[in-house]
Structure 1
Amino acid sequence: MTEEKNYRASTGVDEFHYGIIGDGLVADAIERVKFLQNINVEMPQEIVRAYGDNTTAEMAVSSGNVSVTSDFHKIPIEDKQKLLGWEKSADGLTGTGSNDNPPYVACVFAKTYEDGHKEYVGLPKGIFTRPNITGATKGESTTFSTEQIVAQFMDRNVDGFEKDHSVIFAEDPSGSTTQRDLLFQKIFGQTYPTTTTTTTTTGA
């Protein structure tokens, strides 16, 4: 009997994790950034045509760069230092400039569904770029700001696949973590953290 397909649409995002992998396949540590609001993974492709005798002789797919745009309630300064290669001075200040050297990182996040199942998206190797600095005056009502950060990802060898890939998907039914655990092992070279290093915000 053919297994019934799942046509439910996601209703939320959660569990954004990253790890610095450098030029290797194993992350130094798996870190969590809480309060992910929106995330967009762009995977552009276009059809390229070759012509002859006034008609199409051949077609092929040309793939563009995989880019990720993420919106958070707030990105803690500790995570910016790690993701963007920002320097922290001995007396606690943080600096960014033309000599920043962002490390290669791997990322995983989850799309959540009302029936309890989750779809995980793994991004094996990429670099984040520093976000813009924005601010606005407080008006009659309180409005919370958001922080957006952008990254680009490249193909990387992932154990179990014959070809290099830039995005890996996993899906677990409600109550199961089998595919999640496998994805974390493939993307970070480490098991899913039961006690995740979490950086929380101390103020909006």
Structure 2
Amino acid sequence: MPEKNYKSSTGVDGFYYGIIGDGTVAETVERVKFLQTITVEMPQEPVRAHGDNITAEMAINSGDISITAGFHKIPLEDKQKLLGWEVVEGITATSSNDSPPYVGVIFTKTFQDGSREYVGLPKGMFTRPNVTANSKGESTEFSSEEIAAQFMDRTVEGFDEEKSALFAYDEPGETTNRDALFIKIFGVPHPDAGTPTEPEGA
């Protein structure tokens, strides 16, 4: 029996999104660089049925999957695509009638030995972030941006039931499972499909 992997991740990298609409194939796949933090919330709650003063049966009630991602900066072009913002004569605008598209998302957890774990979310919708700014003080400090999204189940080729999150892992220098996950989530290959990555610290 193979040895189990107990290594803990040391970084995050490779945030990709693709607009899938109501289908399973992305129109294009875009990368947003300089991902700093990301949290995926996957709540579940046990539900009990009682009788004769005891628990007669239990089931699991699964809540909505959501993510909160922090970036060094989210380019305006990506906000336009992710949030369905309108652009007229170089001016970007948002309103109460915005209609963000359905998107798939993949990001990477990196490990010190160069191995990688991938998290794929097949179908979700982003919500517009807050706008914040700080006055420059005695020392220079960089700002950051945060954006959130909610995800739902979607048909994923090869699985019997609809899924809301997929996970994959590659040993150092390998990309086989990364490439397979890209096909599952986006319906198109990774931009560097077939090109092994060099093991590196993360």
Q: TM-score, normalised by structure 1?
A: 0.94
**Which residue of 2 is the match for residue 33 of structure 1?**
32
Corresponding residue number in structure 2 for 1:50: 49
Tell me how far apart the structure 2 counterparts of residues 176 and 54 of structure 1 sit (CA, whole Å). Answer: 55
Match of 1:198 in 2: none
Structure 2 letter corresponding to 1:58 = E
Deviation at 1:121, TM superposition (A): 0.3
Unmatched segments (≥5 aa) in structure 1: 196-204
Task: Give the whole-Å Cα distance in 2 for the aligned partners of 1:151 and 1:79.
Answer: 14
1:1-204 equivalences in 2 (<5 Å): 2-89=1-88, 91-194=89-192
Q: CA deviation at 1:194?
A: 2.8
| Amino acid of the structure 2 residue aligned with 1:169 | F
What's the CA shift string for 1:1-22, capped at 9, x where partnerless?
Answer: x100100000000000000000
Identity %: 65
RMSD: 0.8
Alpha-carbon separation, structure 1, partners of 2:62 and 2:19: 26
Aligned residues: 193
Separation in structure 2 between the aligned mates of residue 17 and residue 116 of structure 1, nearest angstrom: 19
Which residue pairs with 2:198 in the alignment? none
* SS of residue paired to 2:184: helix
CA shift, 1:183, in A, is: 0.2
Distance 1:30 1:55 in 2: 52
**Aligned residue type for 1:112:** T
Letter in 2 for 1:27: A
Q: Which whole-Å CA distance do the structure 1 matches of 2:74 and 2:15 have between them?
A: 12
**1:17-70 Cα distance to aligned partner (Å, 9 max, x none):** 000000000000110000000000000001100000011000100000000000
**Runs ≥4 residues deviating over 4 A:** none
Query: TM-score under structure 2 normalisation?
Result: 0.94
